């Protein structure tokens, strides 16, 4: 069984919905738009990790790979060498999530430098993880 098979399942293209997920060109994506084009389905989707927009045209009964996507929240402990050090539910440290190079990353850095306790939301799919949001801890 390949790594991707462990992190995904197959579905019929006609069963996919906007705001759902699918794999295009080996990349886990969020479906932005689904439309019918003759007897085929046309999808516009955004790569969950790069933000790149991808397109696919498929037969309605085509088998499509659907990634298993999870979101988890972790308290931030500290930032070191471009990586977030997060506290997992069991109290162990998770240190393999890169500090994003975008507005979310800047917010995390600002909160960290101010000594503010924050919770970071991490999305995971097909063996990749990324921080996608941050909020002050309750």
State the DSSP string of 11-52.
EEGGG--TTSEEEETTEEEEEEEEEEETTEEEEEEEETTT--
List of domains in the chain: 3-67 (2.30.30.30), 70-136 (2.40.50.140)
Q: By the 8 A CB rule, do 14 and 61 touch?
A: yes
pTM of the model: 0.86
Low-confidence ranges of the chain (pLDDT < 50): 1-5
End-to-end CA distance of the chain: 42
φ, ψ for residue 112 (rounded to 5)?
-60, -45
The residue among 125, 131, 138 whose CA lies nearest residue 20 is 125
Dist. CA 15–CA 11, nearest whole Å: 7
Residue 1's pLDDT is what?
37
Question: What pLDDT sits at residue 37?
Answer: 83
What's the chain's average pLDDT? 95
- Predicted pLDDT of residue 3: 45
- Whole-number Å distance between alpha carbons of 49 and 29: 8
Cα separation, 115 vs 124, whole angstroms: 27
């Amino acid at each position: 069984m390949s790594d991707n098979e462990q992190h995904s399942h197959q579905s019929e293209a006609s069963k996919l919905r906007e705001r759902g997920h699918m794999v295009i060109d080996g990349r886990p994506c969020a479906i932005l738009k689904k439309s019918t084009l003759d007897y085929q389905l046309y999808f516009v989707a955004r790569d969950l990790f790069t933000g790149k927009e991808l397109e696919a045209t498929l037969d309605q009964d085509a088998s499509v790979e659907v990634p298993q996507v999870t979101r988890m929240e972790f308290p931030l402990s500290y930032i070191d060498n471009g990586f977030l050090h997060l506290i997992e539910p069991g109290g162990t440290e998770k240190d393999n999530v890169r500090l994003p190079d975008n507005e979310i990353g800047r917010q995390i850095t600002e909160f960290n430098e101010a000594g503010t306790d924050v919770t970071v939301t991490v999305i995971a799919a097909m063996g990749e993880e990324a921080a996608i949001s941050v909020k002050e801890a309750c």
